[in-house]
Structure 1
Amino acid sequence: MDKSTSALAAAIGSRVRQERQSRGWTLDQLAEAAGVSRRMVVNVEQGAANPSVGTLLRISDALGIGLPALVDSPQPRPVTVTRSGNGAALWNSASGGRGVLVAGTESPDVVELWDWTLTPGDRHESEAHAAGTKELLQVRGGSVTVVVASETFVLEAGDAVSFPGDVEHSYANPANEPATFSLAVFEPGVGSGHRPEVNPTAPTTTEGN
């Protein structure tokens, strides 16, 4: 990881640990609630992992705070400005593609605004998000192929699409030029119980807390 990626990973890890400990959860309890391995939670909290967007969504949903809260200050603010170049790059491809979270709202009804760049041949596969999630995408430049469940849509600059985010979907650039698009994600009811609950009577351990 480069310096900026490492700094972001450390900030996310610190926030995850803070939120987990404030709930009195063990590593195992968070892992169970998020549906990820205990090792992944440990790696995320230590800033040693470069987790997928899907993994971060699972963890933030389990904590009931939403993805934007993992990369922003925990203090609620009525107005938040993200200057150009200061968004959180949560997805990077080997050839330079980037998925940058540039703005977001707090739970329970979380809205995320993303700025995506796909280099030629890039493809981002996304697992199904929480029930009720909606996505809106507009291509700003180049050509983007969006697959939603079994349907394929080829979008050119200026084209837009809205679709359910609670099914598997992907974004790809099969062309020879870079493609850019804006993406808005709406996830309702974060923290209201649409993810599995942590069992408060489950055995606990102090290891790694």
Structure 2
Amino acid sequence: MGDSAESLARAIGERVKQERKGRDWTLDKLAELAGVSRRMLVNVEQGAVNPSIGTLLRISDALGVGLPALVEPPAPRAARITRSGEGALLWTGPSGGRGVLVAGTESPDVVELWDWTLAPGELHESEAHSAGTRELLQVQEGALTIEIETESYELSVGDALTFRSDVPHSYANPGISPSRFTLAAVFEPGVGAGHRTEAPNA
């Protein structure tokens, strides 16, 4: 991990530990509720790993706080500014792709704003999110293929797609130039009311 990734991992670990202890939960209890191993949870709290988006989603849902609460400092004001370059880099692809959580709202009705870039040939697979979650995205550059269970959608610059993401889905760049898209919203209703099911790693 680079310096920024290490800082983010430490911040996430501290917030997870704070939320867990605030509920007087043991590591074993949170691990069970989140559906992750105790070892993984220990590593997350120690800031020793850069956990996958799927792992962070399971932990945040179990805590009932939503993913943005784990990667952003608490905001005492009604408005929060995320300056350019300050978003949380939560995914990097093998060829340089990036998934950045730019901003998000608090639970129980969590809305997230993401900025994604996929290098040619890169693929990001996402597990099924909590029941009722929906995504809206728009392609800013290049081409994008979205697969939702058995359905496939081909998008180009300016195209937008709205879909339910409580099923396995993926984003791929089939072109020869980088693809960039704004995941305009990930709406997760009632975060913490239920728990995500196990699915392929996000």
| TM-score above 0.5, yes or no | yes
Look up the match of 1:12.
12
Look up the match of 1:156.
156
Look up the match of 1:169.
169
Look up the match of 2:190.
189
Secondary structure (helix, strand or coil) at the match of 2:139 reads: strand
Look up the match of 1:111.
111
Shift of 1:175: 1.0
- Once residues 115 and 27 of structure 1 are traced to their aligned partners in structure 2, the CA distance between those partners, rounded to angstroms, is 32
Look up the match of 1:52.
52
Long gaps (5+) in structure 1: 197-209
Q: Deviations over 1:23-72 (max 9, x none)?
A: 00011000000011101100111111111101100000000000000011
Alignment of 1:71-110 (within 5 A): 71-110=71-110
**What is the percent sequence identity of the aligned residues?**
68
Look up the match of 2:38.
38
Secondary structure (helix, strand or coil) at the match of 2:107 reads: coil
- Once residues 14 and 174 of structure 1 are traced to their aligned partners in structure 2, the CA distance between those partners, rounded to angstroms, is 38
- Once residues 93 and 131 of structure 1 are traced to their aligned partners in structure 2, the CA distance between those partners, rounded to angstroms, is 27
- Once residues 49 and 179 of structure 2 are traced to their aligned partners in structure 1, the CA distance between those partners, rounded to angstroms, is 27
Secondary structure (helix, strand or coil) at the match of 2:153 reads: strand
- Once residues 121 and 51 of structure 1 are traced to their aligned partners in structure 2, the CA distance between those partners, rounded to angstroms, is 23
**TM-score, normalization by structure 1:** 0.91
Q: Give the number of the structure whose alpha-carbon radius of gyration is greater.
A: 1
2:157 aligned partner, one-letter code: A
- Once residues 49 and 120 of structure 1 are traced to their aligned partners in structure 2, the CA distance between those partners, rounded to angstroms, is 27
Shift of 1:76: 4.2
**TM-score, normalization by structure 2:** 0.94
Look up the match of 1:121.
121
Shift of 1:77: 2.8
- Once residues 152 and 19 of structure 1 are traced to their aligned partners in structure 2, the CA distance between those partners, rounded to angstroms, is 39
How many equivalent pairs are there?
Answer: 195
Point out 4+ residue stretches in structure 1 off by more than 6 angstroms.
Answer: none
